[in-house]
Structure 1
Amino acid sequence: MTDRPTTFEELGASLGVRRVTLIHEEVFGEAGSVLDTPVHKAAAIAVVKNPWIVDGQSTGTDADLNDATQKIAPVIAKLLADRLLTALGGAENIEAFGKAALVGTSGELEHAGALIHTPYFGNLIREMLEGTSIICFTDGRVEPGTNVHVPMWHKTHAANRDHYQTIDVSLADAPHADEICVIAAASTGPRPFPRIGDRKTDIPVTTDILKGLL
Structure 2
Amino acid sequence: MSLIQVRKYKLDVEEVFHERGPVASTPLKVAVASAVIANPYAGQYVDDLMPFMGELRSLGTELSKRLLAALGGADKIQAYGKAAIVGEDGELEHGAIWHEAGGWAMREALGNPKAIVPSAKTISGPGTRLMVPLGHIQAAYVRSHFGVAEVTVWDGPRRDEILFALAMSTGGRIHARLGGLSADDVKGEDGLR
Provide the residue aligned with 1:194 in structure 2.
176
> How far apart in 2 are the matches of 1:41 and 1:129?
16
Provide the residue aligned with 1:124 in structure 2.
105
Is the Cα–Cα contact under 8 Å of residues 57 and 104 in structure 2 kept in the other structure?
Answer: no
Unaligned runs of 5+ in 1: 1-10, 201-214
Between the aligned residues of both structures, percent identity stands at 39
- What SS is found at the alignment partner of 2:95? helix
Provide the residue aligned with 2:94 in structure 1.
111
Letter in 2 for 1:42: A
- The Cα shift of 1:174 comes to 0.4
- What SS is found at the alignment partner of 1:140? strand
State yes or no: 1:18 paired with 2:24: no
* Root mean square deviation, CA, Å: 1.7
Query: Which protein has the larger Cα radius of gyration, Structure 1 or Structure 2?
Result: 1
State yes or no: 1:94 paired with 2:77: yes
Provide the residue aligned with 1:7 in structure 2.
none
> How far apart in 2 are the matches of 1:199 and 1:89?
26
Within 5 Å, which residues of 2 pair with 1:21-170?
Answer: 21-53=10-42, 57-58=43-44, 60=45, 63-71=47-55, 73-114=56-97, 116-118=98-100, 120-130=101-111, 131-170=113-152
> After TM superposition, what 4+ stretches of structure 1 lie above 4 angstroms from structure 2?
none
- The Cα shift of 1:164 comes to 0.6
After superposition, the C-alpha distances for 1:142-162 in whole angstroms (9 at most, x for unaligned) are: 110111111101001111000
> How far apart in 2 are the matches of 1:153 and 1:89?
19
- The Cα shift of 1:102 comes to 0.8
- What SS is found at the alignment partner of 1:22? strand
> How far apart in 2 are the matches of 1:37 and 1:179?
38
- What SS is found at the alignment partner of 1:79? helix
Is the Cα–Cα contact under 8 Å of residues 148 and 171 in structure 1 kept in the other structure?
Answer: no
- What SS is found at the alignment partner of 1:111? helix
Range 162-171 or range 77-86, more displaced: 162-171
Is the Cα–Cα contact under 8 Å of residues 41 and 185 in structure 1 kept in the other structure?
Answer: yes
